[in-house]
Amino acid sequence: MKIGKNVAILSLPSPIKGMPNINPVLTWDDKNLVLIDTGFPKQGKIIAKAIEAEGLSAEKLTHIIITHQDMDHIGSTLELQKKAPNVQIITHKEEAPYLDGRKVPVKLASMLEKYNNLPLLHKFGCKRAQKMYRQMQIKFHKELQDKEVLPICGGIEVVHTPGHTPGHITLYLHESRIMVCGDGANITDGQLSGPNPTHTQDMELGMKSLEKIKGYPMVGAVTYHGGYLEI
């Protein structure tokens, strides 16, 4: 669904019962095709079809930008990389170590700390997540920093918005003035609200990041689990 000039939301079903659709974002220009976040594992074919529905091709992806380390944001990265072998995969410099194997992802680390006291089903989930992260280690082509502007698609500005995770980023699309918030914001009663407290590492920091997001001159914002909000 197009939401601005050369910007579209790829609304995808969640495999988790009760979770709303997820919303990766696609943006492009004459030379570049950029996907922001890659959904859950094994959604590569669904994402490719969604890209085709916008009149484009997953094989022509030039960049994948990862907002943060959660499985529903990185799940099909390696699958899409097989479709587009020359794609550049990028994320914030503080987030990369959690995804290339240097550090344990924050939610997994929290589960491992409590492992001995977890119910059996949660222990199984923890071990499964550990195996999945190990199998999905991502090699990044570039590590970003706050306020860096990628000179593609009319300018994509990196906004470091920690709280949900340490290296979480929001992407400000200069040409369309749309903010892609990842999990740094949600939509509540028609307004941008903070990250989900249940899944946020540092809620106080997350709320400061929300104010940072709101400081940009937006015409709209995309939240990963809430979709598009016209502002």
Predicted pLDDT at 62: 98
Per-residue pLDDT 10s for the chain (231 aa) are 999 999 999 999 999 888 889 999 999 999 999 999 999 999 999 999 999 999 999 999 999 999 999 999 999 999 999 999 999 999 999 999 999 999 999 999 998 998 999 999 889 989 999 999 999 999 999 999 999 999 999 999 999 999 999 999 999 999 999 999 999 999 999 999 999 999 999 999 999 999 999 999 999 999 999 999 999
Domains of the chain with CATH codes: 2-101+137-230 (3.60.15.10)
Return the beta strands (E) in the chain as ranges.
2-4, 7-9, 25-28, 33-36, 63-65, 88-92, 142-144, 149-150, 156-160, 169-173, 178-180, 186-188, 191-193, 220-223, 227-230
Q: What is the pLDDT of residue 197?
A: 94
Q: Which pLDDT score is estimated for 16?
A: 87
Is residue 166 classed as helix, strand or coil in its secondary structure?
coil
